[in-house]
Every structure is written in structure tokens, then in C-alpha cells.
Amino acid sequence: MKRISTAFFTLTVLLASSAYAQDGEKLFKQNCASCHTLTDKAMVGPGLAGLFDRIPSEEWAISWVKNSSKMVAAGDPYAVKIFNANNKVPMSAFEFLSDEEIKGVLSYIRNPPVKEVPAAAAVVADAGAKPSGALAGDTLIYVLVGLALLLLLLLVVLRGVKRSLTHLVSERDGVPAPVEKGAVGTLLSWMNTHRGWTAFSVLVVVLILLRMGIQGLMTIGVYQGYAPTQPINFSHKIHAGQNGINCVYCHSSAEKGKTAGIPSLNVCMNCHSYVDQGPTGTAEIAKIYRALDYDPATKTYGSKPTPVKWVRVHNLPDLSYFNHSQHVVAGQIPCQTCHGAVEEQAVVGQHSPLTMGWCIDCHRTTNVQVTDNGYYEDLHKRTPEWHNGDPITVERIGGLECAKCHY
């Protein structure tokens, strides 16, 4: 039992450490890699090699990551020293990260991979990364495999104990020890004498595997939670949240056409021709200038602009038709219904599953906004018997017809 306990404890620690390190690595690449390297080479911010020989404590590091400006304003000596040493460029606040997530990042910094992935390559790699939910699924598989190995170890130990006790009893009674059938022979003998339980066990295993297979097939093409790293770290939390910029100021085609569209950099320049520094310093805004071949000193444009290769987050299959203007203007559906609280997201991810079942459920439960909506005035005149004061769902006006979305 002592060996079993030791094996179980060791396996649990290894599995937890593995998941913890993976979480820290992903969080580092999403939030830190654009400004810091794991070497002593400075990028936007200082290199992180030897970090734990410099900082006062891990608790200090957690507070610094969450809100460095607050620590500088409070007069923390080491915080002020770092702030001054880095040209008084404030570090972004990561208050949306929990203490455990920051500890995961610090653990990853303390034990970096043997070969660091360059920052530019990290951006490309993350662009095709699996959804964040896939990490949790992988961790669950590791845990299940670990438990299976632990149970196998337990069975082996118990079988050895039984064999030893059987030999002791045989020696005491002076009779020959029973012939060992082996693990396979014992199992086959049990199955032969317990056919009902064997059939039931096989049926349960088949049903479980069938259910796992169906669930796996249902997740193909579903990328809920997908939040890739973009070539320019644009924060909706700062723009739409803190600064209160309306969604359609940048995504103007959401009210006029099928797609919401990606804003051109000229829209960015409406503000950033004057605002050349953000919470992360000048690095991200400088990427806009380089893409436009813009010289902020002379405020002139060159003749060699280059496109920004944004990574698409939401992507419906070609067999589906979705019109933003129909939902935003006629349906008066808030952006947050499908995209979540974008104004709170520093890194935008896919909030909804965007599956056919999800769309149908919405059409069945969402009431058409007919009151004071000019789009549906004609519907009131032609079909008064449809509502009679009762709510009209999208389903009642043809929202479940196949040809509405597939043609």
C-alpha cells in the first residue's frame, strides 16, 4: 500500500505540473511574447532571463503583472526603479488574469523550453492554434490515462498479494499450490463463468466508445473559445470598453452588408495620427505606421504600404449564409448576443459555437423587434392576425426555412 500511495502521489504531481506548465506557456505566448523574450535580450520590455534573481518575491510579481502602474503610483521602490529603467513606458495591466494563471506564467518563465520560439514565429504558430477549450480536453485525457495506469498498477499489486497468500495457505495445509493461470487465463475463466456480466460490460464499453465518437464528430469545425494572437495586439477592452468606441465606428459594414468587415488602417489613423503611444508603449502603434509607410515625425505617407495579415476569428462554412445588417438593423440584435462582451476582451475570441443548432435555438426563442421598427411596419399591415398582441418569434416569420440560410 505504501508503494501504491507513493505511485499515486507522484503521478498526480506529474500530471498537475504538466497541465500547469502548458497553461503558463499558452498564457505567456498570448499576453507576454509580443513584448518580452525568455532570454536576456530586450524587446519592447526587458528580457526575462534571471527574473527571479531580481524581483523581491513571487507575490510582488503577481501584483506587478496585474497593475504595474498602480504600484508605481504607490511608490513601490523596485516598481519605480523598473519604470524609470525602461524609459517610463508603462506595462499593460492584466487584471483579467487570476493569481493561479499568473503563477502558471511565472512557472513557465522559471522553467523555459530548451529552445525558445522567436516572437514572430510564436504569432504565426498561435494563429493556427487549437481553441482554448482543447487544452482542457488534453489535460483530461492525461488525467484519465494516469488513473488507468494507476488502477492497472493496483491490480498487479493486489494480484501479487493474492498469489503470496495462496502459497502461504498451501504450505500451511501441506497441499500443492494451485496452478497459476496467468492474467489472461484468469480473465477468460471469469468471463466464461460470468457471461451475463461479461455481456453487460462489453455493451457498456461499446456505448461509451460510441458516445465519445459521436461527441468527437460533433466538435469538428466548432471553434468556440478560439482566440488567436494577432499581428497587432489590438485590445477591444481598451477601445470599446475603456474608451467607449461604438462597434460600428470600426465595423461600419455590419449595418450595411453581409459581413462586419475588418477596419482599414485609415480608420485607426483617425485617432493614431495624434495618439502615438498606448498602454504597451509605442510598439503596437508603430506597427500601424510601418504597415502604412507613415512617418509620424513628418506626418507623411510613403509609397510602400504593406497589408496586415489579420487572423480571422469567426468563420462560417460556405454552405451557410449570414447577413449582419439583417440582424443588426432589422433584427436589432446587440453585437454581444453572438460575440459576447467584446468590450471586456483584451484578446478577442469566438464566444458562440456558431453551429446550426445554436442558430435554430435562437430563431425559436428570439422575439422579432416589431415595435417602432420601420422594417416590419408592412408586416403589421398585411398580417395582423399573426400577432394579435402576442410576441412573434423569428421562427413564425420563416426563420427555420432551409432556403433562408442554405441556397
Interatomic CA distance for residues 215 and 289, integer angstroms: 46
Number of domains making up the chain: 3
Q: Is residue 95 domain-shared with residue 196, that is, in the same domain?
A: no
Terminal-to-terminal C-alpha distance of the chain: 65
Closest CA to 105 of 120, 121, 94: 94
Interatomic CA distance for residues 223 and 350, integer angstroms: 7
Using the 3D structure, point to which of 111, 127, 143 is the last residue of a domain: 127
Per DSSP, the three-state class of 141 is helix
Is the distance from CB of 10 to CB of 18 less than 8 angstroms? no
Q: What pLDDT sits at residue 253?
A: 93
Q: What single-letter amino acid sits at 380?
A: H
Q: Is residue 11 domain-shared with residue 97, that is, in the same domain?
A: yes
How many Cβ atoms from other residues are within 10 Å of residue 16's Cβ? 13
Q: Is residue 121 domain-shared with residue 193, that is, in the same domain?
A: no
Interatomic CA distance for residues 92 and 347, integer angstroms: 13
Strand stretches in 253-404, DSSP E: 294-295, 300-301
Is the distance from CB of 397 to CB of 379 less than 8 angstroms? yes
| Residue 318 belongs to a domain | no
| Residue 11 belongs to a domain | yes
Per DSSP, the three-state class of 26 is helix
Spans of the chain, pLDDT less than 70: 1-22, 34, 41-44, 114-140, 179-183, 380, 383-389
Q: What pLDDT sits at residue 182?
A: 66
Q: What single-letter amino acid sits at 296?
A: P
Is the distance from CB of 295 to CB of 288 less than 8 angstroms? no
| Residue 304 belongs to a domain | no
Cell numbers found for residue 93: 495591466
| Residue 371 belongs to a domain | yes
User: Which neighbouring-strand residues pair with 367?
Assistant: 393
Q: What single-letter amino acid sits at 277?
A: Q
Residues whose CB is less than 8 angstroms from the CB of residue 353 and which lie 6 or more positions away in sequence, other chains included: 222, 224
Please write the tens of the pLDDT for every residue from 353-399: 999 999 999 999 998 887 777 777 777 677 666 666 677 888 888 88
Q: What single-letter amino acid sits at 104?
A: G
Using the 3D structure, point to which of 222, 247, 278 is the last residue of a domain: 222
| Residue 138 belongs to a domain | no
Is the distance from CB of 279 to CB of 238 less than 8 angstroms? yes
Task: Give the domain extent around 366.
Answer: 355-407
Interatomic CA distance for residues 267 and 273, integer angstroms: 10
Q: Residue by residue, what is the 3-state secondary structure of 248-265?
A: HHHCHHHHCCCCCCCCCH
Q: What pLDDT sits at residue 312?
A: 92
Q: Is residue 111 domain-shared with residue 27, that is, in the same domain?
A: yes
Residue 232 has, within 13 A of its CA and on its CB side, a CA count of: 21
Q: What pLDDT sits at residue 286?
A: 94
Per DSSP, the three-state class of 64 is helix
User: Which neighbouring-strand residues pair with 281?
Assistant: 278
Q: What single-letter amino acid sits at 88?
A: K
Residue 220 CA: distances (Å) to CA of 85, 125, 295: 49, 20, 46
Using the 3D structure, point to which of 127, 148, 163 is the last residue of a domain: 127
User: Which CATH number covers residue 81?
Assistant: 1.10.760.10
Phi, psi dihedral angles at 281 (to 5 degrees): 95, -145
| Residue 309 belongs to a domain | no
50-57, long-range: CB within 8 Å, 24+ apart, which pairs? Answer: 51/109, 51/110, 52/110
| Residue 206 belongs to a domain | yes
- Would you state the torsion angle of the CA atoms of residues 130, 212, 10, 102, taken in this order, to the nearest 10 degrees? 30
Interatomic CA distance for residues 386 and 261, integer angstroms: 36
Phi, psi dihedral angles at 392 (to 5 degrees): -110, 120
Is the distance from CB of 235 to CB of 346 less than 8 angstroms? yes
Q: Is residue 8 domain-shared with residue 111, that is, in the same domain?
A: yes
Interatomic CA distance for residues 340 and 363, integer angstroms: 18
Between vectors from CA 206 to CA 201 and to CA 212, what angle results, nearest 5°? 125
Cell numbers found for residue 240: 470599446
Q: Is residue 6 domain-shared with residue 112, that is, in the same domain?
A: yes
Its pTM stands at 0.51
| Residue 395 belongs to a domain | yes
